[in-house]
Amino acid sequence: MSYDAPMIEPIQAWSSPLFVTSNPDHEFLKSELLQYIDQYVENQNAEIASEVAITAKHQLSESKLCFLEAQEPVIIELRRMLEELLSAVATEVNSDFWPEGAEGDATIIESWFHVTKNGGYHDVHSHPNCSWCGIYYLSPGESDLGMRNGVNRFYDPRVNAEHYSDAGTAYISQHGFWDFEPVEGQIVLFPSYLKHSALPYFGEQDRVIIAFNAVVDLI
């Protein structure tokens, strides 16, 4: 007498979507953005001008949280492009939950740069008061994924996922974090609840990124 095993349907629940793309205008904007950031750093009165989580940051310069509000043509163009990307991502993720034909309209509400020097890092944190966030790698310096040098690390949001470990949890234990190698011109977009960090960076060249937080309206 044979036994027919019941069909088992896998369900991927509670996933955390992250998106990676590249700035198509990176080569056109890069030099002007770096020059603007260099001048900004020279003129600011404190290394961490935002005055946010100062003790979590080491060997880096950070702007105020309104960097992309500057009325410089290169900044205006970058902000326009980033808000279009965020709007597209929000629409893709939420299309099954919005009215048919609705689209997302993202607005960047906070933005800043980091210029990380040799030995610099940013401890684990998340971004409150927004729905989507992003990191634009303007100049990654000597960051290296294999050496875990200057990479951004994202952490599993399932806080109790590893409260018990055996052979049946190998699929969890192998995914406690996700590392992104900073690639020049690359943009990473992620939901605001994901905790992440910038691991220690070592190199003679500065590691320069632009980060941003956004809210999304329905249109």
pLDDT of residue 116: 98
Of the candidates 150, 180, 181, 148, the residue with the CA atom closest to the CA atom of residue 18: 180
pLDDT value, residue 1? 56
Rg of the chain (C-alpha set):
20
pLDDT attached to residue 159:
83
User: Is residue 207 within 8 Å of 201, Cβ to Cβ?
Assistant: yes
Question: Which residue is listed with tokens 């960090």?
Answer: 197
Q: Which residues of the chain have pLDDT under 70?
A: 1-3, 174
Domains of the chain: 24-157+171-218 (2.60.120.620)
CA dist 32 and 35 (Å) reads 5
DSSP at 147? T
- The phi and psi torsions of 104 (rounded to 5 degrees) equal -90, 145
pLDDT at 2: 61
pTM of the model: 0.92
